Amino acid sequence: MMKPLHLYAGGLGSLWGPAVFIYGACPFHPAAPDSGEPDFPENDSDGILKSMIRGFHPSDMDAVIEIWLDASIRAHDFVAGNFWQSKVIDMRKVYIPASETYVYEEAGCIRGFVCLVDETLAALFVSPCAQGRGIGQKLVEKSKNVRQNLNLTVYKETQKSVDFYKRCGFKSVGERVDKYTGHSEIVMVFNS
């Protein structure tokens, strides 16, 4: 049996990189349905892009990996980019498949995702083109709806992420050094 994960982005370690603020290459399309763009999904009647949080499908893997890698390199610039690149296969073959993953889909494009392992929020990432619109908060709320208690780790250097989790109701309960990168992580918990 596979040993529980030491995930890379907050969680059981930080090979995901701590757990928030994802970057990705999927373009944001604020265009109206009459924009003339081919294959552009219809908006809701109030003009809002259709969106949902749903369970991960294997066909989402490339988008999720792209978001994770880009985010990890951009948000964690204090860790060498080649470290994150060296973990892509593990993410694809081990960590994502072993996680309970939910994606935020908007206009047919993955804008973010959250991975849970037991009571650990192991990864939370939102595409930069979609940040600041509450997607991360919605993914945290989804996590709270499926788990009564959550824990995570977040790199101390990413104060924006630490503040985000505090706004989402997480409390700092300790600090430790990530054995993979040597950087300090803050341990946070949420109890409903």
Report which of 31, 123, 134 is spatially closest to residue 76, judged by C-alpha positions: 123
Would 138 be classed as within a structural domain? yes
Residue type, 181: T
DSSP structural state of residue 147: -
pLDDT at 57: 96
Would 15 be classed as within a structural domain? no
Would 170 be classed as within a structural domain? no
pLDDT at 107: 86
Residue 6 three-state SS:
coil
Question: Residue 62 is part of a domain; what is its CATH number?
Answer: 3.40.630.30
Our count of domains for the chain comes to 1
pLDDT at 40: 33
Would 120 be classed as within a structural domain? yes
pLDDT at 75: 86
Would 161 be classed as within a structural domain? no
Sheet with 149-155: list strands edge to edge: 51-55, 100-106, 109-117, 120-126, 149-155, 184-191, 171-177
CA distances from 29 to 111, 129, 175 (A): 11, 9, 40
The tens-digit pLDDT sequence of the chain (192 residues) is 333 333 444 433 444 444 433 333 343 333 333 333 333 333 455 555 688 999 999 999 999 999 999 888 888 889 988 999 999 999 999 999 999 999 999 988 999 999 999 999 999 998 877 878 899 999 999 999 999 999 999 999 999 999 999 999 999 999 999 999 999 999 999 998
The whole domain housing 70 covers: 50-148
pLDDT at 168: 97
Would 180 be classed as within a structural domain? no
Would 112 be classed as within a structural domain? yes
Would 166 be classed as within a structural domain? no
pLDDT at 3: 33
pLDDT at 174: 97
